């Protein structure tokens, strides 16, 4: 394969606007292998891409891009205290702060990958939130307590890391396309299993298996950063997370439309299963990420034994072990970073509908309307939290700390009002900042991840965090049901109000300190990676391929 043809392919893969304008190189020796040529061309193209993304090329040094296994640069880690002063500024940005201008950098292929990821996450959470919103119906159907039903939520969260590990590794090894399509099919199958369950134990068992399928989705949505522009990363991460409030609105709308009868939870689950199967079909139609498609073609042409299963597995395992040794502490940090937000969402968000019905005396229709309106705050928070974190001064951590502090101030407004209007307004502002933190997660986790294992790393960190927070909903339910609160008119209700408020305050207070001591690698390049199972020149020699 000639250098010119490789350039053309790489330009289309990495969306580089035109050829590299540099003096022609001397003829390479014939003994140089095709794999070596590929590596040299990639380095040149990546450098050119950095030049195109940089608005001030005369003020920066040429960026070196390595295609070996990703090794994080410790100099990019910044503590909160150090980042206040000009010790080490963030990499220069393009200065495009207008969201419209930033989104214009997106091409049709970028939007295609984004839609697939958004739809997968939407299907994932429609299924999950149908259970959270239908807790009371399911308890009446099986003639048990809401606390017992919330065990299904806990088990779903506990089994999610299993799916994150399995499907994350499959994605990093084979590509994003088929692992995600198969994952979404499993979601639909286990959702139908929940409908067919004729006992509470059978229902809980099916939800535990559902959690395995649910766990794989979050890591596989990292495909949106495989080729999208760096400047759009923050707002894309926020837009991706808006699938969650959209799913919440859908689940609340289905709950209201199907009525308050206990058996109607099955209709909600049928709709969720249909959405999962539709998302699987869309994922199967859309091509794989460009890094996987192009790397397979080039390696097969350069190395006759490139498709040998044992060689690729051995290489993948070797790189995986190296990644674990280098990045296990970062994995733990990211898991706790996610778990703090998940604790608030589980303890407050997953019990919010039950809180409206049991503690505030709202009927099914009123509670459903409030739940849907509260997602205005969630949607706005995720969108603007992700976008504002891209600005040079704010960054990921400062924005996360700001959102957390503001959420603490709005806890009373979210639980104390007695009127539907007051509860709605208070919860909108509370969720605006809680979910603003959530909107930062996709871009922040991907930037802290080793590039060749982003699906595994981000998915496992995210699902380990949700597993740590899994008891949140059940603990709040158990404490609230065991205590009563007397209202001003003498009515005795379950004590959801003080329990939810106290839990949210404690977790948010801890979050401020954890985020402050953490690292940040904003604007690190995510598009210049080689899949972990694809051989570089050095690895090919080690495997006796060349």
Give, in degrees to the nearest 5, the angle at Cα 424 between 421 and 425.
Answer: 90
Q: 395-409 vs 496-516: helix axis angle to the nearest 10? A: 160
CA distance 105 to 321: 37
359-364: average pLDDT: 81
Confidence of residue 408 (pLDDT cuts 50, 70, 90): very high
Q: What is the CA radius of gyration of the chain?
A: 24
Q: Please say if the pLDDT value at position 335 is more than 80.
A: yes
140-168: average pLDDT: 86
Q: Which residues of 218-229 are buried (b: 16+ CB within 10 A; e: fewer)?
A: bbbbbbbbbbbb
88-98: average pLDDT: 47
Q: 146-174 vs 108-133: helix axis angle to the nearest 10? A: 160
Handedness of CA 371, 376, 377, 379 (dihedral sign): positive
Q: What percent of the chain has pLDDT over 70?
A: 74
Rank 116-120, 221-225, 533-537 by mean pLDDT and report only the highest. Answer: 116-120
Residue for token pair 């604790």: 343
Confidence of residue 329 (pLDDT cuts 50, 70, 90): very high
Q: Please say if the pLDDT value at position 211 is more than 70.
A: yes
Confidence of residue 303 (pLDDT cuts 50, 70, 90): low
Question: How high is the pLDDT of residue 50?
Answer: 36
Q: Please say if the pLDDT value at position 83 is more than 50.
A: no
Question: How high is the pLDDT of residue 256?
Answer: 84
Question: How high is the pLDDT of residue 11?
Answer: 37
Question: How high is the pLDDT of residue 434?
Answer: 92
Question: How high is the pLDDT of residue 402?
Answer: 93
Confidence of residue 301 (pLDDT cuts 50, 70, 90): low
Q: Please say if the pLDDT value at position 43 is more than 80.
A: no
Tokens found for residue 235 = 């707002």
Question: How high is the pLDDT of residue 223?
Answer: 81
CA distance 446 to 124: 20
Tokens found for residue 498 = 């003080």
492: which strand partners? 486
pLDDT in tens, 276-299: 999 999 989 988 777 677 666 655
Rank 82-86, 172-176, 300-304, 337-341 by mean pLDDT and report only the highest. Answer: 337-341
407-436: average pLDDT: 91
Question: How high is the pLDDT of residue 315?
Answer: 80
227-231: average pLDDT: 81
Q: Which contiguous run of DSSP H or E holds residue 151?
A: helix 146-174
Question: How high is the pLDDT of residue 18?
Answer: 41
Confidence of residue 368 (pLDDT cuts 50, 70, 90): confident
Q: Please say if the pLDDT value at position 429 is more than 90.
A: yes
**For residue 369, what are the contacts with CB-CB under 8 A and spacing of at least 6?**
252, 256, 420
Question: How high is the pLDDT of residue 25?
Answer: 45
Q: Please say if the pLDDT value at position 13 is more than 50.
A: no
8 A C-beta contact, residue 487 and residue 355: no
Tokens found for residue 308 = 């040998």
8 A C-beta contact, residue 382 and residue 439: yes
Q: What is the mean pLDDT of the chain?
A: 76
Instruction: Tell me the residue length of the chain.
Output: 546
Q: Please say if the pLDDT value at position 398 is more than 60.
A: yes
For the whole prediction, is pTM greater than 0.75?
Answer: no
Task: Name the residue with higher pLDDT: 84 or 298.
Answer: 298
Q: Please say if the pLDDT value at position 328 is more than 50.
A: yes
Confidence of residue 10 (pLDDT cuts 50, 70, 90): very low
pLDDT in tens, 476-504: 888 887 777 766 666 677 778 888 889 99
Q: Please say if the pLDDT value at position 62 is more than 80.
A: no
Q: Please say if the pLDDT value at position 536 is more than 70.
A: no
Which of 72-76, 129-133, 290-294 has the least mean pLDDT?
72-76
The widest CA-to-CA distance across the chain, in whole angstroms, is 91
Question: How high is the pLDDT of residue 39?
Answer: 39
CA end-to-end span of the chain: 16
């Amino acid at each position: 394969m000639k250098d010119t043809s490789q350039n053309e392919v790489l330009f289309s893969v990495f969306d580089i606007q035109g050829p590299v304008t540099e003096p022609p190189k001397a003829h390479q020796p014939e003994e140089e292998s095709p794999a070596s040529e590929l590596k040299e061309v990639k380095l040149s193209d990546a450098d050119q891409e950095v030049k195109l993304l940089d608005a001030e090329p005369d003020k920066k040094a040429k960026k070196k891009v390595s295609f070996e296994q990703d090794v994080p640069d410790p100099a990019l880690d910044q503590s909160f205290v150090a980042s206040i002063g000009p010790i080490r500024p963030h990499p220069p940005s393009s200065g495009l702060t207008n969201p419209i201008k930033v989104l214009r950098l997106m091409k049709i292929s970028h939007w295609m990958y984004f839609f697939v990821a958004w739809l997968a996450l939407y299907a994932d959470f429609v299924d999950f939130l149908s259970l959270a919103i239908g807790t009371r119906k399911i308890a009446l159907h099986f003639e048990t307590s809401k606390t017992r039903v919330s065990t299904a939520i806990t088990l779903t969260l506990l089994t999610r890391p299993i799916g994150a590990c399995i499907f994350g590794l499959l994605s990093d090894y084979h590509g994003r396309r088929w692992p995600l399509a198969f994952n979404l099919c499993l979601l639909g199958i286990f959702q139908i299993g929940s409908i067919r369950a004729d006992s509470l134990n059978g229902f809980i068992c099916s939800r535990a298996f559902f959690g395995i399928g649910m766990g794989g989705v979050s890591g596989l949505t990292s495909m949106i950063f495989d080729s999208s522009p760096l400047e759009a990363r923050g707002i894309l991460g926020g837009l991706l997370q808006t699938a969650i409030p959209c799913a919440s609105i859908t689940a609340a709308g289905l709950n209201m439309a199907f009525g308050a009868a206990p058996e109607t939870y099955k209709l909600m689950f049928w709709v969720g299963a249909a959405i999962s199967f539709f998302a699987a079909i869309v994922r199967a139609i859309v091509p794989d990420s460009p890094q996987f498609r192009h790397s397979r073609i080039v390696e097969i042409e350069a190395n006759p034994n490139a498709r040998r299963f044992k060689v690729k597995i051995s290489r993948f395992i070797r790189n995986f072990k190296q990644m674990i040794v280098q990045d296990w502490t970062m994995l733990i940090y990211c898991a706790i970073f996610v778990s703090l937000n998940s604790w608030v969402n589980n303890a407050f968000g997953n019990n919010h509908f039950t809180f409206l019905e049991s503690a505030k005396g709202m009927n099914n229709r009123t509670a459903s309307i409030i739940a849907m309106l509260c997602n205005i705050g969630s949607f706005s928070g995720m969108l603007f939290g992700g976008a504002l974190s891209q600005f040079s001064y704010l960054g990921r951590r400062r924005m996360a700390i700001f959102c957390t502090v503001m959420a603490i101030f709005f806890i009373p407004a979210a639980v104390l009002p007695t009127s539907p209007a007051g509860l709605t307004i208070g919860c909108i502002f509370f969720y605006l900042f809680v979910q603003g933190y959530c909107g930062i997660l996709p871009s922040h986790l991907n930037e802290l991840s080793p590039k060749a294992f982003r699906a595994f790393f981000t998915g496992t960190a995210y699902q380990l965090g949700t597993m740590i927070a899994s008891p949140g909903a059940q603990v709040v339910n158990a404490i609230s049901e065991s205590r009563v609160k007397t209202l001003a008119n003498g009515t005795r209700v379950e004590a959801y109000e003080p329990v939810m408020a106290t839990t949210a305050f404690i977790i948010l207070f801890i979050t401020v300190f954890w985020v402050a001591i953490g690292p940040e690698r904003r604007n690190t390049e995510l598009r210049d990676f080689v899949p972990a199972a694809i051989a570089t020149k050095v690895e090919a020699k080690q495997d006796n391929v060349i």
